Amino acid sequence: MGQTIEGLEVHDIRFPTSEQLDGSDAMNPDPDYSAAYLVLRTGDGSEGHGFCFTIGRGNDVVAVAVEALRPHVVGRPAPSCAADLAALHHDLTHDSQLRWLGPEKGVAHMAAGAVVNAAWDLAATRAGLPVWEFLASMSPEELVRLVDFRYLTDALTRDEALALLRAAEPGRAARAALLREHGYPAYTTSPGWLGYSDEKLVRLAKEAVAAGFGQIKLKVGLDMEDDVRRMKLARAAVGPSVRIAVDANQRWDVADAVRWMTALAPYEPYWIEEPTSPDDILGHAAVRAGQPVRVATGEHVANRVVFKQLLQARAVDFVQIDAARVAGVNENVAILLLAAKYGVPVCPHAGGVGLCELVQHLAMFDFVAVSGSWEDRVIEYVDHLHEHFADPAVVVGGRYAAPRAPGFSARMLPGSVATHSYPDGPVWQARRTAPEDDR
Amino acid sequence: MGQTIEGLEVHDIRFPTSEQLDGSDAMNPDPDYSAAYLVLRTGDGSEGHGFCFTIGRGNDVVAVAVEALRPHVVGRPAPSCAADLAALHHDLTHDSQLRWLGPEKGVAHMAAGAVVNAAWDLAATRAGLPVWEFLASMSPEELVRLVDFRYLTDALTRDEALALLRAAEPGRAARAALLREHGYPAYTTSPGWLGYSDEKLVRLAKEAVAAGFGQIKLKVGLDMEDDVRRMKLARAAVGPSVRIAVDANQRWDVADAVRWMTALAPYEPYWIEEPTSPDDILGHAAVRAGQPVRVATGEHVANRVVFKQLLQARAVDFVQIDAARVAGVNENVAILLLAAKYGVPVCPHAGGVGLCELVQHLAMFDFVAVSGSWEDRVIEYVDHLHEHFADPAVVVGGRYAAPRAPGFSARMLPGSVATHSYPDGPVWQARRTAPEDDR
């Protein structure tokens, strides 16, 4: 009985980040970084932690969606292998009544992803391995078993996936050793939030380079002249050899994106991220064809079917997986395989609450066992809120250190959970009882 | 004060339809047709009714998502014109924190749609017009004001939309008179649920023809030999001139769809509906190119951006709008305009709970003021659950009678709301206390 999942706890955790302008961009002026956070507990005291990242209002909706998955989880044997994790992923994403709420997108899908990820945390913790190593310990046959190939077979069959994984198998141990020694390349978004002054932008950009980052990112999209000025300042601050990505957070239509990026192109942006709607595959292809800067997207891409098409349509130069928007590790393994098939580098989205902690495992697994490369690959890093995690992401010299603790680095500190619970934790109580201010 | 929205009530309403096999298809074997149902109330006693249709579990999640929209609704003046309804639609879909939960898809977007639709019910009721006439009373300038053109301008600009609407303006009165006299063409899905026996299929198909329907629909996708047999039986039952659409409810990958429809083609299916994932624009285009049967989709298409691409990619022959999945009337006006621009007929999805009631208004508005045509257009009809509505859809001789009562035909009878409230209404109480049976 000790191996049965006996408990599922769900917490609505919110951080009042809108009080600073950290995280501000062209579409999200005042985010309160939040997590619908869950804990699975087995009878023998093991725990699995997972979460959806949101930016405030609606975090309760995701929490309720996680609760709706309880019947699939509680009473189930704790998963310990690929077959178990595949079965859980299947049950969560193929509940026909819940599937109607997507299908495979939005709140219901994010909730499934949080539970899947918590199950991976549980299984890897019990196996005594960090998730990236747990994944990399699986055979190609086990790994393809994780994947739901429905809707993918016109782009990637099970046999093709197996061949990709087998081709990468011989170098696994050597690449894992490289990771442990050198870490994985990171870039930082910290200098570039839209709400920051020019002075702060320049100072933080220089600090990023001094800290060893070879790439930074600026938010753009509200005002083209402002963006040209900021891009010019950033380029002057970091010099010609540091990459500067720009991110429009879905602000534009196709023609806007082409016009804007043509204006920014002289300052050599490395990529344009989320130029338009994440649903607009053909729009991304048109943006890519219409201006000289490489195109990246993915943090809001709902599922593997949309990623498949972005690749089929040659719409993106970089695939930006998010650890907590799709249906967890399983669906991200599918997306890594699709990207490998099309030869497109995966550069994960991170930041938010705990996204750096999660996604580092997926990028490292990709390096070890799927693409086998870290050329042109880089994980986003934002230096926010890591202090709330028990096994925080560590970035040194512009590189993510390979996690060594068992699990998915997903566990929040109990004190942080208690303090930031919404609406009754002390952080929020204090804000309700404080006199009105300008917030 | 009488014109302020003072109340928002949300109800979790479920019907135990899984006890019969009504509504069974290849992906949804046991739906309990449900509605997250809401009522807006003004101080002077007006009401606006709206809902999301779901198939059971998760209906509570949608209800909580509607609650999350309360701050945008309660205390707001009751909308009475296009500008008001555009502003409400904008506020509901551009709340940046809630937008993160989609964006513009899934639970959060469906909830916004339910509130938008309730606001249309309220506004049309106060204007004393059914929604189709209320819409058709608006000028082209007012109608384009309803539409959020973000992400659409590479396919349809505001000026192009205005030109389409102006071109249809002269015939509006004559077409409205035609509708009032003759109604709008319908087709019926009632014969074709997968759970039905061959005998029941044949009997219901013949009854449909006798009742005046020129088109029926069969569910397919579980077993190809079964489907060929059922299609052959249905064709023999209805003769060569009645259209038989088939619907796979997203069951297939591209190659399956091509193979299956090639096998069904000798029996002349009129369209293949939802052959694959509703997110798979390129997949639909490949299915359309790979076999001889026309392609339809839309009931699960998340938003106008995906519809735009289905049209740009020439992936569909019929656009199947759903009244309650996208962000309500406003987004459906955008989709009707896109379809008109590309010359693709709109054949709405209906059935479920109250979808016939809602979507008839949109199809009739399309006929009067957008496409100006009912050639090759037909609204789905399923004869389920209409008895729970105060102004039920009326289909006679295979045609929807034009609604005459003010509003959106969205009001459920108070007795039905009370009886089917989940989990505490008497219908569900009885099921919890009844002895275990085979359900």
What does DSSP assign to residue B366?
I
Q: What is the pLDDT of residues A269-278, one digit of tens each?
A: 999 999 999 9
Task: Please indicate whether, in this complex, the C-beta atoms of B98 and A58 are within 8 angstroms of each other.
Answer: yes
**Catalytic residue selected from B72, B219, B284, B361:** B219
In this predicted structure, what is the pLDDT of residue A1?
A: 43
Chain A nearest CA to B277, separation (Å) = 7
CA distance B66 to A399: 43
CA distance B217 to B195: 14
Task: Please indicate whether, in this complex, the C-beta atoms of A68 and B60 are within 8 angstroms of each other.
Answer: yes
B232 in helix, strand or coil? Answer: helix
Chain A 71-130, residues with CB within 8 Å of chain B CB atoms: 95-110
Chain A 3-42, residues with CB within 8 Å of chain B CB atoms: 27-32
pLDDT-derived band at A439, boundaries 50, 70, 90: very low
Examine the pLDDT at B436 and tell me if it is beyond 70. Answer: no
CA distance A321 to A356: 12
Residues 6+ apart with CB under 8 A from A327: A89, A92, A93, A104, A109, A112, A113, A116, A303
What is the Cα Rg of chain B in Å?
21
Q: Which residues of B touch A150 (CB under 8 A)?
A: 253, 277
- Closest residue, chain A, to B55 (C-alpha): A97
CA distance B246 to B269: 6
What does DSSP assign to residue A33?
-
The answer to whether B36 and B114 have CB atoms below 8 angstroms apart is yes
Task: Please indicate whether, in this complex, the C-beta atoms of B105 and A61 are within 8 angstroms of each other.
Answer: no
Q: Which residues of A touch B105 (CB under 8 A)?
A: 102, 105-106, 279, 302
Chain B nearest CA to A367, separation (Å) = 28
State the DSSP H helix or E strand holding residue A259, giving kind and residue range, or none if neither.
Answer: helix A254-264
The answer to whether A52 and A35 have CB atoms below 8 angstroms apart is yes
Give the N- to C-terminal CA distance of chain B in Å, as an integer: 50
CA distance A389 to A379: 19
Q: Is B219 noted as a catalytic residue in this protein?
A: yes
Q: Is B68 on the interface with A (CB under 8 A)?
A: yes
Task: Please indicate whether, in this complex, the C-beta atoms of A305 and B105 are within 8 angstroms of each other.
Answer: no
CA distance A331 to A150: 11
CA distance B390 to A332: 47
Domains of chain B are: 5-138+416-432 (3.30.390.10), 172-412 (3.20.20.120)
Q: What is the pLDDT of residues B297-311, one digit of tens each?
A: 999 999 999 999 999
Residues 6+ apart with CB under 8 A from A222: A26, A194, A251
Task: Please indicate whether, in this complex, the C-beta atoms of A107 and B107 are within 8 angstroms of each other.
Answer: yes
Q: What is the pLDDT of residues B68-113, one digit of tens each?
A: 999 999 999 999 999 999 999 999 999 999 999 999 999 999 999 9
Task: Please indicate whether, in this complex, the C-beta atoms of A309 and B151 are within 8 angstroms of each other.
Answer: no
Q: Which residues of A are catalytic?
A: 219, 349
Q: Which residues of B touch A110 (CB under 8 A)?
A: 101
B399 in helix, strand or coil? Answer: strand
Of A90-94, A164-168, A191-195, B393-397, the one with minimum mean pLDDT is A191-195
Angle in degrees, CA A233, A237, A238, rounded to 5: 125
Chain A nearest CA to B368, separation (Å) = 30
Examine the pLDDT at B1 and tell me if it is beyond 60. Answer: no
pLDDT-derived band at A432, boundaries 50, 70, 90: confident
φ, ψ of residue B182 in degrees (nearest 5): -110, -15
Interface test with B, best of A91, A100, A308 (most B CBs within 10 A): A100
Q: Which residues of A touch B104 (CB under 8 A)?
A: 277, 279
Residue B404, phi-psi category: left (phi > 0), alpha (psi -120 to 50), beta (remainder): alpha
Strands A243-247 and A269-273, by their bridges, are parallel
Task: Please indicate whether, in this complex, the C-beta atoms of B98 and A150 are within 8 angstroms of each other.
Answer: no
Average pLDDT over every residue of A210-238 = 97
Average pLDDT over every residue of A6-15 = 98
pLDDT-derived band at A260, boundaries 50, 70, 90: very high
Chain B 240-299, residues with CB within 8 Å of chain A CB atoms: 250, 253-255, 276-283, 286
Chain B 43-62, residues with CB within 8 Å of chain A CB atoms: 54-58, 60-62
Examine the pLDDT at B247 and tell me if it is beyond 60. Answer: yes
Task: Please indicate whether, in this complex, the C-beta atoms of A61 and B95 are within 8 angstroms of each other.
Answer: no
**Catalytic residue selected from B11, B349, B361, B388:** B349
The answer to whether A279 and A309 have CB atoms below 8 angstroms apart is no
Examine the pLDDT at A436 and tell me if it is beyond 60. Answer: no
Interface contacts (A, B; CB < 8 Å): 191
Structure-token pair, residue B192? 């074709």
Q: What is the ipTM of this complex?
A: 0.97
Chain A nearest CA to B282, separation (Å) = 7
Chain B nearest CA to A312, separation (Å) = 8
- Closest residue, chain B, to A253 (C-alpha): B151
Task: Please indicate whether, in this complex, the C-beta atoms of B306 and A99 are within 8 angstroms of each other.
Answer: no
- Look at residues A236, A194, A252 and name the one whose alpha carbon lies nearest to residue A218: A194
Average pLDDT over every residue of B409-430 = 97
Examine the pLDDT at B438 and tell me if it is beyond 50. Answer: no
Report chain B's mean pLDDT, rounded to a whole number. Answer: 96
